[in-house]
Structure 1
Amino acid sequence: MKKWCLLLLTGVLMVMNGPLMAQCSLCTKTAQQLGEGPAKGLNNGILMLALTPLAIIGFLAFRWWRSNKEA
C-alpha cells in the first residue's frame, strides 16, 4: 500500500511542478503571435502529449523492476 501511495504522490508532484516551457522554436513563435491565453493552452497540450509516452515508459520500467526484484 505504501508503494502505491508513493507512486501516486510522485505522479501528482510531477504533473504539478509549476509552469514549464515545453515548446520548440516554431511553436514558441506561433504562440507569441496567438497571445497569452492560447499560448498557455498550446503549452499545456504539448505537455499532455509528452505525458503519455513517459507514463508508458514508467509503467514498463516499474513492471521490469518488480519482476527482477521477485526473481
Structure 2
Amino acid sequence: MARGSLILIVLLLSFFIVPADIVAQCSICTKTAQQLGERPAKALNMGIIYLGLTPFLIIGFIGYRWWKNNR
C-alpha cells in the first residue's frame, strides 16, 4: 500500500513540475494563434492541452480502479 501511495504522489507532483509553456499546437493552429495575438494564443494552447489530457486521465482512473479491485 505504501508503494502505491508513493507512485501516486510522484505522479501528482510531476503534473505540477511540468512547465506551463508546453506547445501543443499544430502548424495551422500556430499560424491562426499568431494572427489572434498572445493572450488568445495562450488560451488556445491551454484548450488543446486540456482536451488532449482529459481522455488520459479518464482511462487512467478507470485502469487504477480496475487494478485496485482485482488485487
TM > 0.5 fold call: yes
Amino acid at match of 1:14: F
Residue in structure 2 matched with residue 64 of structure 1 by the alignment: 66
| 1:10 Cα deviation after fit | 1.9
Tell me, which stretches of 5 or more residues in structure 1 are unaligned? none
CA distance in 2, matches of 1:31, 1:63: 39
Once the two structures are TM-superposed, the CA of residue 64 in structure 1 deviates from its matched residue by: 2.5
TM-score normalised to structure 2 length = 0.72
CA RMSD of aligned residues (A): 2.2
Provide the identity percentage.
Answer: 51
Superposition misfits of 4+ residues, deviation over 3 angstroms: none
TM-score by length of 1: 0.72
Count of aligned positions? 68
Q: Which runs of 5+ in 2 are unaligned?
A: none
